[in-house]
Amino acid sequence: MNKLWLEDTTLREGEQSPGVSFNLEEKVQIAKYLDSVGVTAIEVGTPAMGGPETEAISAILNAGISARLIGWNRGRKSDLEASFACGLNSVHIGLPASDHHLQNKFEKSREWVVETMQELVQYAKSQGAWVSVSAEDSGRAEEDFLVHYAKAAKEAGADRMRCSDTIGILTPFKAHDLFRKISIESGLPIMAHMHNDFGLATANTLAAVKGGATHVHFTVNGLGERAGLAPIDEVLLGLIKHNQIDLNVNLSLLKELSEYVSVASGRPISKNKAVTGDAMFAHESGIHVDGVLKIPEAFEPYPPELVGGERKIVIGKHSGSNAILYILHKHNVNAQRDELEKVVEQVRYKAVTSKQEITDEEVISIYEEYKQVRLT
């Protein structure tokens, strides 16, 4: 059992990314991957949508998954009934917490949202459910009201409150202080749900945990509305390496999971994405290649095998003789360093003119052509 509650919402919030839609088989496979990674819970979708959504949820429920499976619901009793009809016994109730959302979107008061939340929590608990409630737009909500809302949720029987930074405006410092205040003053488990509009979703999640968050939310590849959420790979690595939290998770599946979801979602992974990008463990510069071949941790924060990655020596404009020699020896070409000066020059010239990395085969070809010239 992990000290932190690790919850993925790729199948719910992730699928809300514009243009993203998973079929039934993909949803089941993603859920199985997440279960194998070792997440605590999976938000499987919105049962009130019916049709293919409930079919996929039923299939996931029957897939032998160990993680808790949670249905997302609007603040309506009929939504909760749809979740229970699916066979789910864990539910999340989405409700606003900021005056901005309450007044402009719902045209309701703070009193209304507290009363509505408590009624829905009490109903769900009467059905024997595990219940989570939202404080949506927490980043713009008044802090003392968030504490009051959390206390009211606890009083009604809620198992946790999700603080959702809906438009991603928190900073790590603000996130730390906000989660510290709510967790201490309410005594209710609090989840961090961070959006990435300012590129701070992962940092805010780690800071929230430092402040007292006991539950964290993420998606594969950071999928989600607009700029998405905190990516699962970054959050897990950050919690382990920076927050020094011992998690019982299988990190070696992260790249495979990332690539599967990339194909299923139609969203390519940036080459330089942290943790699972193809360039994460790729080295071209001569100084870096020399260092990483001698001692990998000189230029790598963790071994690629940890996250299912692979180290790659890239040959290009900045490559030196060490990189060329490494490639040649890898292919059992018996080259000597003192004969590589002209080869390095030709490799660099080809890289500049082609604007691409040079393949191993091209390196070997350039070397063999050079050898032929020397022999004639």
pLDDT at 376 over 70: no
- For residue 171, give its domain range: 5-265
3-class secondary structure, 279: coil
User: pLDDT tens digits for 344-366?
Assistant: 999 999 999 999 999 999 999 99
User: pLDDT tens digits for 153-188?
Assistant: 999 999 999 999 999 999 999 999 999 999 999 999
Looking at the structure, do residues 9 and 46 belong to the same domain, yes or no?
Answer: yes
- Both tokens of 143, joined, read 């802090």
Looking at the structure, do residues 186 and 254 belong to the same domain, yes or no?
Answer: yes
Looking at the structure, do residues 325 and 246 belong to the same domain, yes or no?
Answer: no
Looking at the structure, do residues 260 and 286 belong to the same domain, yes or no?
Answer: no
What are the C-alpha distances in Å from 314 to residues 10, 130, 145, 296, 365? 33, 50, 54, 15, 16
Looking at the structure, do residues 260 and 352 belong to the same domain, yes or no?
Answer: no
pLDDT at 170: 99
Looking at the structure, do residues 232 and 311 belong to the same domain, yes or no?
Answer: no
Dist CA 219 CA 34 (whole Å): 10
Please check whether residue 274 lies inside any domain of the structure: no
- Both tokens of 266, joined, read 């139609």
**HSE-CB of 351 using CA atoms within 13 angstroms:** 20
| Residue with token string 């249905």 | 71
Looking at the structure, do residues 79 and 24 belong to the same domain, yes or no?
Answer: yes
DSSP H/E element including 216: strand 215-218
How many separate domains does the chain show?
2
Please check whether residue 198 lies inside any domain of the structure: yes
Q: Name the pTM for this structure.
A: 0.94
Q: Give start and end residues of each alpha helix (H) in 162-230.
A: 172-186, 201-211
pLDDT at 350: 95
pLDDT at 3: 83
Of 191, 136, 212, nearest to 167 by C-alpha is 136
pLDDT at 1: 60
Of 199, 254, 344, nearest to 38 by C-alpha is 254
User: pLDDT tens digits for 90-100?
Assistant: 999 999 999 99
pLDDT at 302: 96
- Both tokens of 258, joined, read 């990332």
Looking at the structure, do residues 195 and 335 belong to the same domain, yes or no?
Answer: no
Dist CA 140 CA 96 (whole Å): 11
Dist CA 16 CA 18 (whole Å): 6
The average pLDDT across 45-68 equals 98
Q: Please, what is the end-to-end C-alpha distance for the chain in angstroms? A: 69
3-class secondary structure, 280: coil
Q: Give start and end residues of each alpha helix (H) in the chain.
A: 24-37, 52-61, 77-86, 99-101, 110-126, 143-156, 172-186, 201-211, 232-241, 254-265, 286-294, 321-330, 341-354, 360-375
The domain boundary, picked from 200, 235, 265, lies at 265
pLDDT at 6 over 90: yes
